[in-house]
Amino acid sequence: MFDLEMNIKAWSDYLRTRGTLAEADVVELESHLRDQIDDLTSSGLNAEEAFLISVKRLGSVSHISEEFAKVNTESLWKQLLLDPIDPAEKARHQRSILLAILLALLAGTAARIPVLFGIKVGSLTYLKNLSFYILPFIAFFLAMRSGAPVKLRGVLAGIFALTLVVVNLYPSYEPYHTEALSAIHLPILLWFVTGAAYMGRGWQTSRARMDFLRFTGESVIYGSLLLLGLIVLTVFSLTIFQTIGVDLEPFVENYLLVYGGSILAMATVYLVEAKKSIVENFAPILAKIFSPLFLLTMLAFLVVMAVTGTSPYTEREFLIGFDLMLVLVLGMVLYTISAKNIHDGKNLFDYLNAALITVAIIVDVVALSAIVFRLSEYGLSPNKLAALGENVLLLVNLAALLVMYIRYFRGRSQFQAIEKWQTRYLGVYALWMAVVVFLFPLFFRFK
């Protein structure tokens, strides 16, 4: 059954997400929309017909309303690849596609260069440099899309180049702990750098950083779907060529996975960025689906751990699992925050998010106690120190979020305060990633 109020609200929220209209303008347009609907329903049309006609009429004086009318059709998924009607916009759209394809091919070629020098694809050296094969090209694409100033582009290019030189000038000795830590933390650090390209001129603002968080979450979702497609393509190719006696494994390993992975990454950011007006419609839905599922999973984990008497203090793998779970939960929390419309009041999912944060704090405290125990028993090591630092950062992040949620529930602050604090805290994570990548090797003598 057609819900008129829900559709009017969705239309108004869409205008807000475009970022081109002030709140007063949105309110005025909504008032015009309601007047049109009232006139049409009084003439005998039903609510759905009146709504669609009213949106179309407003579209004649508001291009944004016309876009909303296009997006909110039953053929929503077709809009992902739909060309714009406006000739200038269509040309810009086509240039973006060509640029994305060109950069994906350049990224694939960059990923092939180390192989020519005898560096194996799965080696630690290759993995340590994996970020440099794709992220600079993604950053360039996003900088072009966002209209980032030339000065900012130059600074970002310099950061990528300097990081590439420093990381590869560092020696590495057995047992290669610091090199492995660099391989793990470097992509996260450089993703923050890439985020500056996405945010453009507004990279210092809370709103732009929250958009980047949402962009990151949607990229993970779209990237996962495209990755499944690449896996299916790979298996299918190997299977059909095997039936005619052709071994396709060398081609798959050296070309299909390398170029396919590059195209996948570029296609992901293109779809999320170019079609963000559509993708944003899915963010609240996905958050509402997965937030309670994550909460139930965490609660079940704690209950099973308590019942079975499993201890995280002696098993290193158990502790690694703890940390991975905490990172996923924090990602879910941030995605839920980014998906919330700040004009909405308190709702059930705000309380679910606060409950998820509370359970995550309990898990983090257990993980921290296990790390401290291992440090006292086995001494200092790069891995344990990195884990300690990251768990402390997570605990501070989660505890502050819980406090701010409580203040929000009690009416002592607005939801925007949560967003502003969280976006500022992103810089702390970026700083810690830089410490692990650049200072840990020096402190532990490149071992």
| pLDDT, position 79 | 47
Phi (first) and psi of residue 173, to 5 degrees: -125, 160
More confident residue, 271 or 400: 400
Percentage of the chain beyond pLDDT 90 is 29
Above 90 in pLDDT, residue 110? yes
Task: Say which residue, 57 or 342, is predicted with more confidence.
Answer: 57
Question: Per residue in 113-130, pLDDT tens?
Answer: 988 888 887 788 888 999
| pLDDT mean over 260-274 | 88
- pTM beyond 0.75, yes or no: yes
| In the predicted structure, residue 74 carries a pLDDT above the cut 50 | no
Confidence of residue 162 (pLDDT cuts 50, 70, 90): very high
224 burial class (0-12, 13-18, 19+ CB within 10 angstroms)? exposed
pLDDT class of 17 with cuts at 50, 70, 90:
low
pLDDT at 298 over 80: yes
For residue 68, give every residue at least 6 positions away whose Cβ sits within 8 Å of its Cβ, in sequence order, or none: 11, 14, 15, 55, 59
C-beta of residue 387 within 8 angstroms of C-beta of residue 371: yes
State the pLDDT at residue 361: 93
> So what's the pLDDT on residue 81?
45
pLDDT at 73: 46
Is the confidence at residue 280, as pLDDT, over 60?
Answer: no
Query: What's the pLDDT band for 155 if we cut at 50, 70, 90?
Result: very high
**How far, in whole angstroms, is CA 263 from its chain's centroid?**
18
The Cα–Cα gap between 280 and 297 comes to 26
Please give the Cα distance from 92 to 84 (Å, whole number): 9
Closest CA to 267 of 223, 314, 210: 223
Distances (CA, A) of 419 to 260, 323, 405, 406: 36, 24, 11, 14
What is the CB neighbour count within 10 angstroms for residue 193?
18
Pick 50 or 70 by higher pLDDT. Answer: 50
Does 283 have pLDDT greater than 70? no
Worst-scoring range by mean pLDDT, 8-22, 80-94, 238-252, 328-342?
80-94
How far apart (Å, rounded) are the C-alpha atoms in residues 151 and 154? 5
Is pLDDT at 272 greater than 60 in this prediction?
Answer: yes
Distance (Å, whole) CA 194 – CA 142: 8
pLDDT at 107 over 60: yes
Name the band, by pLDDT with cuts 50, 70 and 90, for residue 61.
Answer: very low
Structure confidence at residue 55 (pLDDT) = 81
Q: How many Cα atoms are found within 13 Å in the side-chain-facing hemisphere of 283?
A: 31
**Over the stretch 128-144, which tens digit does the pLDDT of each residue have?**
999 999 999 999 999 98
Distance (Å, rounded) from C-alpha 285 to C-alpha 216?
Answer: 16
Other CB atoms within 10 A of residue 140 CB: 20
pLDDT at 86 over 60: no
Which band of pLDDT confidence, cut at 50, 70 and 90, is reported for residue 77? very low
SS3 call for 205 = coil
Position 250 confidence tier, pLDDT thresholds 50, 70, 90: confident
pLDDT at 326 over 80: yes
Give the CB-side neighbour count of residue 359, counting CA atoms within 13 A. Answer: 23
How do residues 378-413 score in pLDDT, each as one tens digit? 888 898 899 899 999 999 999 999 999 999 998 888
